[in-house]
């Protein structure tokens, strides 16, 4: 490579512009438009074509008589910013020069010396000294009370007279009080009548006294959690009936901390064990190791009629041995039971009563005026959670059959049709029923030809008007029973036969 080529390359090392790049011309200067009013306001004075003042020649000093010369400051500024009189101190000091300032005589002024400590100065106004009080003689009691106007002998005599009057007044008051006590107060003796004699108590009292020993209070605890309910003695061997939702907390406990305690009407408390339970009827059976129990007298569901007087006995709100009265207000009332915190999922064919039932009555007795058990109190219907006169009990026939099976087998199974109905009921001016939402494959309903969309209006002899009533109508039968199912399909009434199977 020649020297010329090397020089050319060296000269172009800092130029990154390609040799074939186009060369652009200078960009035109943009001058904004100035209107005539603005130009007139900011233009140069007349006769000037350049700057306002001609610049001085280079190296030339200021002209005499012009403002550029130094003039003495105004008197006000000189007084405000000038040196004190007699001072030669300059504004700028040599930082390397020795400090020649003389110390200020007298005490250090904290306002001028930042390193000085705080101290208290003399007060602005001196405090005058208190002058001593003149000495005076001590006053006696006579001088204080009477101002030295009563002689000492007169005071002594007055004291004796006052003492005599006081003693005499006390004696007179004592004698007067003893003699006049009969005039001012009379002894009062309250007497209670005993006119009842052998008159019998009311029928409600007699029934309550007879049934209370057979009704117990139940307390279930799991750690720090607890629940209360009631129970009824069914058998002298210690078997008790109660609701499943009362003991489900203990039945579902996996920590082995659950305890069930039963308290009888005489205050005796004993532990209890679960024999069996049925979440589909909300019933459970407990066992206690106690002898000589008072057993409830069982009635029959067919003997119960609307309007019969009944008593609800249990432990509402934890208050044991509580008795409330009412009547049977309805029969065969389908009630759906799904307790919070419980595995109960049941539909019962309930006895409805207006006897006051509250939380804690669950598992207690509903008895008639003969003292016979006609139901197990189970639920209330209320918007607020309190008793409003609508209570529901499991019929005694259902209680008896379920309890016998649980005592014998420890578990129970129910008949099923194999259909699930829609929540919304189907009803018109002519007929009402439960619309089939789903049919289980291979179920009795599928074998009978029931399909989705059919409206079931009757199972056996039980009319069906809702989904809950369909469940009750099926559970009234036993496993293996063949029942007639009446349904509406495409506007036509259809009867099919189904053989119920176990759930």
The residues annotated as belonging to the active site are 245, 282, 362
Query: What gap in Å lies between CA 457 and CA 470, rounded to an integer?
Result: 8
| Residue 299: closest CA among 208, 218, 371 | 371
Please answer whether residues 272 and 262 qualify as being in contact, where contact means their C-beta atoms are separated by less than 8 angstroms: yes
Please answer whether residues 288 and 238 qualify as being in contact, where contact means their C-beta atoms are separated by less than 8 angstroms: yes
Phi (first) and psi of residue 191, to 5 degrees:
-115, 135
Query: What gap in Å lies between CA 433 and CA 467, rounded to an integer?
Result: 8
Kindly state the tokens that stand for 66: 């012009």
DSSP track, 136-202: -PPPPHHHHHHTT-S-HHHHHHHHHHHHHHHHHHHHHHHHHHHHHHHHH------------TT----
Angle at 255 between CA 249 and CA 260, to 5 degrees: 45
Query: What gap in Å lies between CA 62 and CA 53, rounded to an integer?
Result: 13
Buried b (16+ CB within 10 A) or exposed e, 294-326: bebeebebeebeeebbbbbbbbbeeebbbbbbb
Query: Could you count the other beta carbons within 10 Å of the beta carbon of residue 199?
Result: 6
Kindly state the tokens that stand for 182: 């009969």
Kindly state the tokens that stand for 273: 């064990």
Query: Could you count the other beta carbons within 10 Å of the beta carbon of residue 33?
Result: 5
Q: What kind and span of H or E run contains 39?
A: helix 36-42
Query: What gap in Å lies between CA 122 and CA 256, rounded to an integer?
Result: 84
Phi (first) and psi of residue 142, to 5 degrees:
-65, -40
Pairing of strands 492-499, 258-263: unpaired
* Tally of CA atoms within 13 A in the half-sphere of 231 that contains its CB: 34
Query: What gap in Å lies between CA 370 and CA 211, rounded to an integer?
Result: 10
């Amino acid at each position: 490579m020649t020297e010329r080529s090397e020089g050319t390359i060296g000269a172009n090392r800092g130029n990154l512009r390609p040799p074939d790049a186009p060369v652009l011309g200078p960009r035109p200067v943009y001058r904004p438009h100035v209107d005539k009013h603005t130009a007139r306001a900011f233009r140069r004075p007349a006769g000037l074509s350049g700057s306002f003042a001609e610049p001085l020649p280079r190296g030339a000093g200021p002209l005499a008589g012009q403002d550029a010369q130094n003039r003495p400051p105004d008197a006000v500024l000189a007084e405000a910013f000038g040196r004190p009189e007699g001072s030669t101190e300059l504004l700028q000091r040599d930082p390397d020069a020795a400090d020649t300032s003389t110390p200020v005589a007298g005490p250090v002024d904290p306002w001028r010396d930042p390193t000085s400590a705080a101290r208290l100065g003399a007060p602005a106004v001196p405090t005058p000294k208190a002058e001593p009080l003149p000495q005076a003689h001590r006053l006696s009691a006579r001088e204080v009370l009477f101002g030295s106007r009563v002689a000492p002998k007169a005071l002594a005599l007055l004291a004796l007279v006052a003492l005599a009057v006081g003693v005499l007044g006390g004696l007179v008051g004592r004698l007067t009080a003893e003699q006049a006590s009969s005039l001012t107060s009379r002894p009062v003796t309250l007497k209670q009548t005993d006119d009842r004699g052998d008159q019998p108590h009311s029928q409600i009292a007699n029934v309550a006294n007879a049934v209370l020993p057979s009704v117990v209070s139940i307390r279930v605890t799991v750690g720090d959690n607890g629940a209360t309910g009631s129970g009824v003695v069914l058998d002298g061997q210690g078997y008790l009936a109660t609701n499943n939702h009362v003991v489900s907390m203990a039945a579902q406990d996996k920590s082995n901390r659950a305890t069930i305690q039963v308290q009888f009407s005489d205050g005796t408390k004993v532990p209890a064990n679960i024999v069996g339970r049925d979440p589909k009827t909300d019933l459970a059976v407990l066992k206690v190791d106690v002898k000589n129990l008072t057993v409830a007298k069982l009635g029959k569901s067919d003997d119960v009629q609307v309007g019969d007087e009944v008593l609800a006995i249990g432990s509402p709100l934890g208050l044991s041995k509580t008795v409330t009265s009412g009547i049977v207000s309805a029969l065969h009332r389908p009630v759906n039971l799904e307790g919070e915190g419980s595995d109960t999922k049941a539909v019962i064919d309930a006895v409805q009563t207006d006897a006051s039932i509250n939380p804690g009555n669950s598992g207690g007795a509903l008895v008639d005026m003969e003292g016979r058990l006609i139901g197990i109190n189970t639920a209330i219907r209320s918007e607020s959670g309190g008793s409003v006169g609508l209570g529901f009990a499991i019929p005694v026939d259902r209680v008896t059959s379920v309890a016998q099976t649980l005592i014998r087998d420890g578990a129970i199974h129910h008949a099923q049709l194999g259909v699930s109905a829609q929540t919304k009921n189907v009803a018109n001016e002519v007929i009402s029923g439960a619309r089939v939402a789903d049919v289980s494959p291979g179920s009795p309903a599928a074998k009978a030809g029931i399909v989705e969309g059919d409206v079931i209006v009757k199972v056996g002899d039980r009319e069906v008007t809702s989904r809950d009533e369909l469940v009750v109508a099926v559970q009234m039968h036993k496993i293996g029973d063949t029942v007639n199912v009446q349904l509406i399909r495409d506007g036509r009434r259809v009867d099919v036969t189904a053989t119920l199977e176990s759930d």
